[in-house]
Amino acid sequence: MALIDIRGLRKRFRDQEAIQGIDLSIEAGEIFGLIGPDGAGKSTLIRLLAGILPPTTGEIFLHDIDVVTNYEEARKIIGYMPQTFGLYGPLTVAENLRAVARIRGVTGAEFQKRTERLYRFSGLAPFQDRRAAQLSGGMKQKLGLCCVLIHQPSILLLDEPTVGVDPISRREFWDILHTLAAQGSTILISTPYLEEAARCHRIAFLRQGKILEVLDPLTLRERFPYATCDIFAPEPRVLLQGLQGRLTPTAAFLSGDHVHLIGEKQLLASGRLEKTVRQLVAKGAIVEVKETTPTVQDLYFVQERMGNET
Is 234 part of any domain?
yes
Residues 6 and 87 in one domain: yes
Residues 208 and 241 in one domain: no
pLDDT of amino acid 168: 87
| Mean of pLDDT values over 161-187 | 90
Residues 15 and 150 in one domain: yes
Residues 83 and 198 in one domain: yes
Which of 109-118, 188-197, 266-275, 299-308 has the least mean pLDDT? 299-308
Is 128 part of any domain?
yes
Distance CA 265, CA 261 (A): 11
Among candidate residues 166, 192, 217, the one where a domain is terminated: 217
Residues 60 and 201 in one domain: yes
| Mean of pLDDT values over 235-239 | 91
Of the chain, the percentage scoring pLDDT greater than 70 comes to 98
pLDDT of amino acid 138: 87
Residues 183 and 64 in one domain: yes
pLDDT at 189 over 70: yes
pLDDT at 309 over 60: no
Average pLDDT, the chain: 91
pLDDT at 310 over 50: no
Residues 189 and 289 in one domain: no
pLDDT at 304 over 80: no
Is 298 part of any domain?
no
Is 165 part of any domain?
yes
Judged by DSSP in three states, 194 sits in: helix
pLDDT at 296 over 90: no
* CATH number where 274 lies: 3.30.70.250
Closest alpha carbon to 230 in 191, 270, 287, 297: 287
Which of 3-7, 129-133, 220-224 has the least mean pLDDT? 220-224
Secondary structure of 91-159 in HEC code, one letter for each residue: CEHHHHHHHHHHHCCCCHHHHHHHHHHHHHHHCCHHHCCCEHHHCCHHHHHHHHHHHHHCCCCCEEEEE
Residues 110 and 91 in one domain: yes
Residues 129 and 47 in one domain: yes
Residues 210 and 239 in one domain: no
Among candidate residues 217, 239, 259, the one where a domain is terminated: 217
* CATH number where 68 lies: 3.40.50.300
pLDDT of amino acid 306: 60
Distance CA 236, CA 254 (A): 7
Residues 81 and 205 in one domain: yes
Among candidate residues 172, 190, 217, the one where a domain is terminated: 217
Is 310 part of any domain?
no
Residue-wise pLDDT for 66-116, tens only, equals 999 999 999 999 999 998 778 889 999 999 999 999 999 999 999 999 999
Residues 234 and 192 in one domain: no
Between 26 and 225, the higher pLDDT residue: 26
Long-range CB contacts for residues 149-153, cutoff 8 Å, separation at least 24: 149/79, 149/118, 149/180, 150/97, 150/100, 150/101, 150/104, 150/106, 150/111, 150/114, 150/115, 150/118, 151/76, 151/79, 151/101, 151/104, 151/105, 151/106, 152/114, 153/76, 153/77, 153/78, 153/79, 153/185
Is 305 part of any domain?
no
Domain residues for the domain of 16 are: 2-217
| Mean of pLDDT values over 5-34 | 96
Is 302 part of any domain?
no
pLDDT of amino acid 77: 96
Distance CA 49, CA 77 (A): 12
Give the model's confidence band at 159: pLDDT under 50 very low, under 70 low, under 90 confident, else very high: very high
Is 160 part of any domain?
yes
Closest alpha carbon to 144 in 173, 184, 183, 116: 173
| Mean of pLDDT values over 128-145 | 92
pLDDT at 2 over 50: yes
Closest alpha carbon to 22 in 36, 122, 229: 36
Total number of domains constituting the chain: 2
